[in-house]
Amino acid sequence: MLAVRDLDVFYGRVQVLRGVDLRVAPGELATIVGPNGSGKTTLLRAITGLVAAAAGTITFAGEPIAGRPTEEIVRLGIAVVPEGRELWPPLTVRQHLLLGAHALPRALRRARAADDLARVLGLFPALADRLARPAGTLSGGEQQMVAIARALMGRPRLLLLDEPSVGLAPLVIREIFRALARLRAEGLTILLVEQNARAAFRIADRGYALAPGGLIAEVASHAPTTGDSTRRAYGLELIRVQCEPQDVAGLGTPPSEANLRMREIAT
Ligand X SMILES: Nc1ncnc2c1ncn2[C@@H]1O[C@H](COP(=O)(O)OP(=O)(O)O)[C@@H](O)[C@H]1O
| Residue ranges binding ligand X (CB under 6 A) | 11, 16, 34, 36-42
Tell me the closest approach of the beta carbon of residue 164 to Mg ion, in angstroms.
12
Check residue 48 for interaction with Mg ion (CB under 5 A). no
Residue 253 interacting entry, from Mg ion, ligand X, none, C-beta within 5 to 8 Å by type: none
Nearest residue (CB) to Mg ion, 92 versus 195: 195
**Least spacing, CB of residue 15 vs Mg ion, in Å:** 17
- The residue among 50 and 123 lying less far from ligand X, judged by its C-beta, is 50
Residue closer to ligand X, measured from CB, 187 or 254: 254
N- to C-terminal Cα separation, the chain: 26
- From Mg ion, ligand X, none, interface partner of 139 (C-beta below 5 to 8 A by class): none
Minimum CB separation from ligand X for residue 245, in Å?
A: 13
Question: Near Mg ion by CB under 5 A, which window of 56-64, 83-91, 169-177, 259-267?
Answer: 83-91
Contact stretch for Mg ion (CB under 5 A) within 81-89, 128-136, 137-145, 208-216: 81-89
The entry of ligand X, Mg ion, none that residue 16 binds, CB within 5 to 8 Å by partner kind: ligand X
Q: Does 41 engage in binding with Mg ion (CB under 5 A)?
A: yes
Residues within the interface to Mg ion (CB under 5 A) = 40-41, 83
